[in-house]
Chain A
Amino acid sequence: MDYFHIMEYIHIFGIYTMGMNFERIKQKLTILADAAKYDVSCASSGSKRTNDQKGLGDSSGMGICHSYTEDGRCVSLLKILLTNHCIYDCAYCVTRRSNDVQRAAFKIQEVVDLTIHFYRRNYIEGLFLSSGIFKSPDHTMERLVAVAKKLRLEERFNGYIHLKSIPGCSDELMYEAGLYADRLSVNIEIPTVSGLKLLAPEKNHADFTKPMRKVQQEIQKYRNEHKIIRSTPKYAPAGQSTQMIIGATGETDKDIMYSAAHYYTQYQMKRVYYSGYVPISEDARLPSLGSQVPMLRENRLYQTDWLLRFYGFSVQEIVSEEHPNLDMDVDPNLSWALRNLHHFPVDVNTAEKQLLVRVPGLGLKSVHKILHARRFRNLDWDHLKKIGVALSRAKYFLVCASRHHDHKDRQASQIKALILQNSSGKFRSTYSDQLSLFQ
């Protein structure tokens, strides 16, 4: 064979073996990305891992969404399961052992390679690795940790790594996981203990909270030591998160939000995610196939979550015994304002920040601009509009440097009707029958 033929042979052979390999990886990717997609966590921010050794990757800045799926959700991490083999049979989960689906498993090196090749092409911010539980919780967690360790130590990878904490795994493994991962999460999935008994009888509540508590304590310990010894190795710098499934067990919004508030305060969660239940099988305990994903409800819960975390509301102000469920036709901030008209109107030019952020239609950014701008002059409606305030809602709750005011002695129901009449909402069709009450 002459040189040319040898080169051609190598070339073709190269493509051939590579092609086989890629085909298998592609199959696994299809199955294991599909199985991981119901986990909605996507954050890639909040870490402090700088690339100071000329390695690969940097996750010191804000998170980046590199793409968006056709359902409108952000894609920032390669989100996959290590395997969808599982010894458990939780009714709400697509990978439960009794479900008739194709099973697959990645090798540790395959996940490492995929992450690195995707990252180098600027497709992703990092890896989100979860898994079905095979053999035992510890056996599974060990492999998740092995992937993260390999990425950090062998590939000198500084991108973002989010690992699932496997319920029931040992404290030692949880400790090791935090050394390599930026974020750790355990999904509570079912907000009430009774719901968990019904849908996942093999698991108990304590299995979920134990790894959470361990991680929380380690983060606290790291913070204390870091104050004294700056070189203390990082421990889960982007903290913990969890997820709850919405609309699978007939829980109220109050159940969900009180539970969320509990995890925020007791476990210092960075985020609680709410995932509208997507019917995946026919099971008498669950909503039937073909029932709507509760997207509007999910949206209202996120709005509430934001009110708690950034707007200074306490959970009791939003949902309570008298109001166990959020309004569907208006957002929770407006809903609160309508129930508490005695706090209004608020004067844009003098009110304190804590009051301004509670005005429906004023967001944190608008308030920031208002606080700066009003040092130079008294603001009127025109200024507010240019700054970008949602006046359609805010005007009923504000006074400013103008003689014209929409805050007259109106009843809450009148204000609500006016706002609904003069605005449009993408979810309006889902509750249009309620509208007629005000017309």
Chain B
Amino acid sequence: MSTTKTLIYDGSFNGFLTAIFMAFDEKLDIADIQRNGRAQNGLFSETETIFTHLEKAKRVWNGIRKKSYNALTNVYFAFLSETEGVELLLLDYIRKVMGASNGVPFNFSEDTVLYIAQLAKKVGREKHRMEAFVRFQLTKDNLYFANIAPDFDVLPLISKHFKNRYADQEWLIYDTKRNYGIHYDLNGVEMVSLDLTEIHHNRISKSDVFTVEEHAYQDLWSTYFASTNIKSRINRKLHTQHVPKRYWKYLPEKKVS
């Protein structure tokens, strides 16, 4: 009887793809794929640590892309959800995609396919929310700075949007939950990690880091926000449905005064 294997990878997407490569290449019977640090030993399986290998990861990436671009984005988005156990489901999903001639990502009567599509959708929604709710504050060094703490790891997904849009200003968006950020220096976007001593959500007290006018612009924006509301149509339930409370900390217009 062959034993099943648990693969441990470094938590990166390329690491995960390398694990998928191993599973396919060596025709392994996989018990689980776990990220380093979150790993638990199974009783009846061996563990093997995977070293991220860019070439192998690339082959899996291209292999899925050849089958279906849709499947590829679903895999990437669902992976970024960081849901526990998503790796094994993705293996199952990728096996289905690679095994069939075409159309698998649209077979919504299949549980795994529907689940991965829904998960990818959730991540897509969070991506879109971050494109909406990021609020830059201008520092004295002329850097537009924003803190975020998204539900999913969406920084890699929003970088292109912000790069296209704010091509003529230096900006930094920092994920305080995952402790890394993306920084645009007028040429390109790079990943950075900082020792942030203070989290700069929007607050009443002014910080020395930001320009003198920064607070005034936030104030103008809050004024605008209040003035554009129609009181006789008030609908707070709809309001919180669109702007859930967990995002209020980013938004100057939702500052409690």
Q: Which residues of A contact B (CB under 8 A)?
A: 11, 14-15, 18-19, 22, 25-26, 29-31, 33-34, 36-38, 50-51, 54-58, 60-61, 64-75, 78-80, 114, 117-118, 120-123, 156, 276, 278-279, 293, 295, 369, 372-373, 375-377, 379, 383, 386-387
A121 touches B227 (CB 8 A): no
18 A-B residue pairings within 8 Å (CB atoms): A18-B212, A30-B223, A56-B169, A67-B253, A70-B235, A71-B229, A71-B231, A71-B238, A72-B239, A75-B228, A121-B135, A122-B136, A279-B232, A295-B233, A369-B106, A372-B108, A376-B107, A387-B114
Tell me, in angstroms, the Cα distance from A79 to B161 when the chains sit together.
23
A372: min CB distance to chain B, Å: 4
Tell me, in angstroms, the Cα distance from A79 to B229 when the chains sit together.
11
Q: Assess whether B149 is interfacial by the CB under 8 Å rule.
A: no
Cβ contacts under 8 Å, B175 to chain A: none
Tell me, in angstroms, the Cα distance from A70 to B235 when the chains sit together.
6
A14: min CB distance to chain B, Å: 6
B51: min CB distance to chain A, Å: 38
Nearest first, the 7 closest Cβ-Cβ pairs linking A and B are A72-B238, A372-B106, A33-B227, A71-B233, A72-B235, A68-B242, A373-B108
Cβ contacts under 8 Å, B229 to chain A: 37, 69-71
A78 touches B107 (CB 8 A): no
Q: Assess whether B230 is interfacial by the CB under 8 Å rule.
A: yes
Tell me, in angstroms, the Cα distance from A69 to B132 when the chains sit together.
14
Tell me, in angstroms, the Cα distance from A34 to B251 when the chains sit together.
21
Q: Which of B128, B165, B219 has the most CB of A within 10 A?
A: B165
Known contacts A123-B221, A379-B109; is-contact A61 B161 (Cβ 8 Å): yes
- Select one of A14, A30, A71 contacting B235, CB under 8 A: A71
Q: Assess whether B209 is interfacial by the CB under 8 Å rule.
A: no
Q: Which of A30, A55, A120 has the most CB of B within 10 A?
A: A120
B230 touches A57 (CB 8 A): no
Cβ contacts under 8 Å, A11 to chain B: 212
B103 touches A376 (CB 8 A): yes
- Select one of B134, B213, B235, B241 contacting A122, CB under 8 A: B134
A69 touches B228 (CB 8 A): yes
A245: min CB distance to chain B, Å: 14
Cβ contacts under 8 Å, B230 to chain A: 37-38, 69, 71, 73, 278
B114 touches A372 (CB 8 A): no
Known contacts A22-B219, A26-B220; is-contact A65 B132 (Cβ 8 Å): yes
Give the size category of B's interface with A.
35 or more
Q: Assess whether B225 is interfacial by the CB under 8 Å rule.
A: yes
Cβ contacts under 8 Å, A58 to chain B: 164-165, 167
Q: Which of B138, B167, B217 has the most CB of A within 10 A?
A: B167
Q: Assess whether B166 is interfacial by the CB under 8 Å rule.
A: yes
Q: Which of B132, B231, B239 has the most CB of A within 10 A?
A: B132
Known contacts A29-B220, A70-B239, A373-B109; is-contact A36 B228 (Cβ 8 Å): yes
Tell me, in angstroms, the Cα distance from A79 to B227 when the chains sit together.
10
A67: min CB distance to chain B, Å: 6
Residues facing A in B202-228 (CB within 8 A) are 212-213, 216-217, 219-221, 223-225, 227-228
Further pairs besides A118-B217, A121-B137: 20, Cβ < 8 Å:
A22-B216, A25-B220, A29-B223, A33-B224, A57-B166, A64-B131, A67-B225, A68-B238, A68-B243, A70-B239, A71-B229, A72-B237, A72-B241, A73-B230, A79-B228, A118-B221, A118-B224, A121-B138, A123-B221, A376-B109
Known contacts A22-B216, A71-B239; is-contact A383 B108 (Cβ 8 Å): yes
Tell me, in angstroms, the Cα distance from A276 to B232 when the chains sit together.
11
Tell me, in angstroms, the Cα distance from A387 to B231 when the chains sit together.
38
- Select one of A22, A34, A372 contacting B228, CB under 8 A: A34
Cβ contacts under 8 Å, B241 to chain A: 72
Cβ contacts under 8 Å, A60 to chain B: 164
Cβ contacts under 8 Å, B231 to chain A: 71
Cβ contacts under 8 Å, A25 to chain B: 220
